[in-house]
Chains A and B, each alone.
Chain A
Amino acid sequence: MFGTAVIVLREVLEAALIIGILTATTRDVIGRTKWIGAGILVGLLGSFLLALITSDIAKLAGGFGQEIFSISALTLAVVMLAWHNIWMAQHGKALANQAKKTGQDIAEGRLACSALFTLIAIAVLREGSETVLFLYGLVNSHDANTHNMLIGGLIGLTSGVLFGYILFFGLLKIPVQWFFKITSTFITFLAAAMASEIAKLLTQADLVTVYTTPLWESIQLIDMSSVVGIFLHVLIGYEPQPSALQLIFYIGTILVIGLGMKLTKPLIIKK
């Protein structure tokens, strides 16, 4: 039961933390709740669909369909996170400062909402389909412990969602003057972590064959299966044995987003 709980928690945690951060960041965007809910729902439905066709996807692209699919989803997510951060750099202050927004603001808020929707759907979809497959395997294993294991799965799911909530409420407690800085830092690292994952998948599928040697080994220091390891992996992209390519992608993403935010001037709203 405990083992099952940990596996499901590991899968759910990533999506839950992403949703927690995004929900907190967009607290001042009108109508975001609807979009977040829709993102989760579409992500869940997509998870079942994706789980059904996993073998077909696996066969695509010379056996690397899974990697191609993940690379595409992650690339979209990285671009949207980057764009979200740059957009918030421009609008964040204005959104926090005034309750009433101009018509243009609402239109752009809607744009941000569609990005929010897509990001959450992707996060749920990626981890959700694996969870569905895992639970499907459990149900079909005809093991005497199936019942206990399913309860374990439920415990894992609940704790994952709980962690997401804790992060969300924790972020909301941040004083207004620090709020934007801290949440955008979180998002930048999330994007960098995803970019590093893209690099790993490119190597795994043999699409890129350079810079594959591990740079360091810290598996003795922080194990990836430990709770600390999982948190660090999700939040800042910690890897015990990253390749040079992963580090290039990671640092590149941080630089691009940081530069994008610097170059964007905050929007001044005329009263």
Chain B
Amino acid sequence: MFRLMAFLLTLISLSVFADQPSEISQLLVIENHQFEPNELIVPANKKIKLNIENRDSTPEEFESHELNREKLVPGKSSVTIYIGPLKAGRYPFYGEFNEKTARGVVVAQ
């Protein structure tokens, strides 16, 4: 039992540390309660580091059920969020606090 656990732990830690793919960064800007760009094209099957910069003075909440993500972006600040690896497809996201105007989509291809 103990050996099995040790083996599993080793396996998990190996998969965590081995072969970290080179990071892909993307910038998403919030201005006047809108996302820029509102269509973000990213490579499929790669982990993406998404930097979100909020240029408005009011806070926003980046949210996407399709991406399974949710994060507050305080006014006049930047936050980072990791998404993916994503299968090719379209993943809509929105700003929860300004749902009417703050809309966008991540396109993985």
Known: A63-B79, A205-B82. A137 touches B58 (CB 8 A): yes
The one of B47, B72, B82 that contacts A130, using a Cβ cutoff of 8 Å: B72
- Chain A 202-246 per-residue mask, 1 if CB under 8 angstroms from chain B, else 0: 011110111011100001000111000000000000011111000
Majority-rule SS of B interface residues: mixed
Q: Is B31 an interface residue (CB 8 A)?
A: no
Given known contacts A141-B58, A224-B65, A225-B65, A133 and B16 CB-to-CB distance under 8 angstroms? no
Q: How large is the interface on A (under 10, 10 to 19, 20 to 34, 35 or more residues)?
A: 35 or more
Contact A54 B85 (CB under 8 A): no
Report whether A204 and B69 are in contact in the complex, using a CB–CB cutoff of 8 Å: yes
Contact A137 B16 (CB under 8 A): no
B57 touches A (CB below 8 Å): yes
Closest to A225 in B: B65
Report whether B59 and A7 are in contact in the complex, using a CB–CB cutoff of 8 Å: no
Asked if B109 is an interface residue, CB under 8 A from chain A, the answer is: no
Q: Which residues of A contact B (CB under 8 A)?
A: 3, 7, 54-55, 58-59, 62-64, 66-67, 130, 133-134, 136-137, 140-141, 200, 203-206, 208-210, 212-214, 219, 223-225, 239-243
Q: What are 23 A-B pairs at a CB distance below 8 A? A: A3-B99, A54-B74, A55-B75, A58-B73, A58-B79, A63-B79, A63-B80, A66-B79, A130-B61, A130-B72, A136-B58, A136-B59, A137-B59, A204-B82, A205-B82, A206-B49, A208-B16, A209-B20, A209-B47, A240-B65, A240-B68, A241-B66, A243-B68
